[in-house]
Amino acid sequence: MGLLKTVALHSYKGGTGKTTLISNIAALYAKNGFNVALLDFDLYAPSLSSYFKKKPSVFINDLLSGQAKISDVVYDLTSELGLNGKFLVGFSSSRKEDVNEIDMKHDSKWQIEAVKRFIKAKQELNTQFKIDYLFLDTSPGIRYWSINTLATSDYIFLLLKDSDMDIEGTRKMIIDIYDSLSRYGAKYYAILNKVPGETVKEESMQIKDEKAWISELERVVGADVVGSIPCFCDIQFSRHEFLFSIRQPSHPFSTRLEKIAETIKKLSETTKKNDSQQ
């Protein structure tokens, strides 16, 4: 049995397309034969239940409170989506009282116990369900559960758009948070999303401009950029933008995500190889 790899997607602020990207990437891994779990750790504004159109009765909140096990929380969507590997999804509660409860009603002791329960749940995903990759959708910004989620991750991917606010906010988070987390083994990278104008350029000019632009962005934010995704209006303004990477594999959005998914896989394999040699 292999070691479970935990991948978190995070952003400085909301609206970057984080849930759409992590759902599609996780589904691509399952499509390619990996056993995958996707958990909604955006506890302050959960959206995976809406994305997958599910009405769960048990939530990640119940797991963190000690009222449920991970086997009670995750839903197996493998057959429904026709995937080759296992695809488990766990949802958070969007009830107002549950969202308010996260920070307002729980003291530090409860928070510490909740982290321990989550770490135990990760171990059970590995041993009981043979999960290869655990994907975590996180709350944007610097919040208690965002930091906890990131601290339990092996790989963190910062999602940002091409705006001064996103770039400056991402740069600040790297200095304030990610550099500290990296001392404990976490690896962090950046992904550009909803990049305007790329789809209307000639291919040769697009590639040239993109490389120069990414190089400058890496210098400014202080993180390697592992991919960029143009702004596709048919996805961004779709009423229900559900798993384009599975439903429309030839779409340019899907092919971009395939490249990013392969890059994540290579990064994790390289890290595993390096760790075994040390």
What is the predicted pLDDT for the residue at 197?
61
Average pLDDT, the chain: 88
Please identify every stretch of the chain with a pLDDT value under 70, giving residue numbers as ranges: 1-2, 103-106, 197-208, 271-278
Q: Under a CB-based contact definition with an 8 Å cutoff, are residues 174 and 222 in contact?
A: yes
What is the predicted pLDDT for the residue at 104?
65
State the DSSP string of 78-145. HHHHT-SS-EEEE-----HHHHHHHHHT--HHHHHHHHHHHHHHHHHHHHTS--SEEEEEE-SSS-HH
pLDDT tens, 154-192?
999 999 988 899 999 999 999 988 998 888 888 999 999
3-class DSSP state of 275: helix
Q: Is the alpha carbon torsion for 180, 181, 186, 189 positive or negative?
A: negative
What is the predicted pLDDT for the residue at 278?
45
pTM score = 0.91
Number of domains observed in the structure of the chain: 1
- Tokens for 220? 């400014």
Buried/exposed code over 185-216 (b: 16+ C-beta within 10 A; e: otherwise): ebbbbbbbbbbeebeeeeeeeeeeebeebbee
Phi-psi region of 130 (alpha: psi -120 to 50; beta: other; left: phi over 0): left
Which strands, in side-by-side order, build the sheet including 155-160? 74-76, 87-90, 36-41, 133-138, 5-10, 155-160, 187-195, 225-230
Range of the domain at 273: 5-277
What is the predicted pLDDT for the residue at 271?
61
Write the CATH number for 112.
Answer: 3.40.50.300
What is the predicted pLDDT for the residue at 269?
84
Matching residue, tokens 């991917």: 157
CB-based burial of residue 266 (10 Å sphere; 0-12 exposed, 13-18 middle, 19+ buried)? exposed
What is the predicted pLDDT for the residue at 71?
97
Give the pairing type, strands 36-41 and 87-90: parallel
